[in-house]
């Protein structure tokens, strides 16, 4: 009979260690604070036009005219997508090394427009998105804020507006 108890103790010991670790991790997670963003504003309908491979740093390219659109695609050897870009009513967003999960347009108390972009990292890729162009606003005056999927602010993404 003592043999059975020794055998059971051997099986219960690892289980007891795992339960202790689970309790420690739960207490640790409840004690640490995570800064998450609460974002108000209007969600923007985003059209994913094209994707592929491209090696650059993390950047968001914002294009509002057809000449820059063609020049940027040709310069970076990106094939032209089967989509007719309407530069009068649309903005093209090209994300390099990350993907856009959600895009929210906001206006602050001074009337300045800013976009909150929720994104996730995706190395050596690009994606082209088309969004409606804001009316009566210069795209150079728009602020772009980036957040990861947990709502934590990211500062390592460069924004290029109409690059040459």
Q: Which two tokens stand for residue 150?
A: 């947990």
Q: Is the pLDDT of residue 36 over 60?
A: no
Domain of residue 12, residue span: 1-32
- Shared domain for 3 and 80, answered yes or no, is no
- 37 assigned to some structural domain: no
Angstrom distance (rounded) from CA 142 to CA 33: 31
User: Average of pLDDT values for 63-76?
Assistant: 90
91-145: pLDDT as tens digits:
899 888 888 888 888 888 888 888 889 888 888 888 888 888 888 788 888 888 9
Dist CA 12 CA 162 (whole Å) = 64
Q: How many degrees, rounded to 5, is the angle at CA 90 between CA 46 and CA 130?
A: 30
Rounded to two decimals, what is the model's pTM?
Answer: 0.66
Q: Which residues pair with 160 in a beta bridge?
A: 61
User: Are 16 and 82 within one domain?
Assistant: no
Are 152 and 89 contained in the same domain? yes
Residues 77 and 148 both lie in one domain: yes
Do 121 and 94 meet the contact criterion of CB atoms below 8 Å apart? no
Quote the percentage of the chain above a pLDDT of 90. Answer: 6
Co-location of 85 and 143 in the same domain: yes
């Amino acid at each position: 009979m003592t043999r059975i108890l020794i055998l059971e103790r051997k099986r219960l010991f690892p289980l007891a260690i795992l339960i202790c670790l689970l309790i420690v991790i739960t207490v640790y997670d409840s004690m640490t604070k995570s800064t998450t963003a609460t974002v108000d504003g209007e969600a923007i309908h985003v059209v994913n036009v094209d994707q592929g491979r491209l090696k650059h740093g993390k950047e968001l390219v914002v294009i509002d005219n057809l000449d820059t659109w063609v020049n940027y695609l040709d310069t970076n050897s990106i094939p032209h997508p089967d989509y007719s870009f309407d530069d009068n009513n649309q903005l093209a967003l090209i994300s390099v090394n990350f993907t856009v999960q959600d895009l929210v347009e906001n206006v602050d108390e001074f009337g300045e427009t800013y976009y909150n972009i929720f994104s996730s990292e995706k190395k050596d890729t690009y994606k082209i998105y088309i969004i409606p162009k804001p009316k009566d606003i210069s795209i150079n005056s728009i602020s772009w804020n980036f957040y990861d999927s947990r709502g934590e602010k990211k500062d390592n993404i460069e924004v290029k507006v109409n690059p040459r």
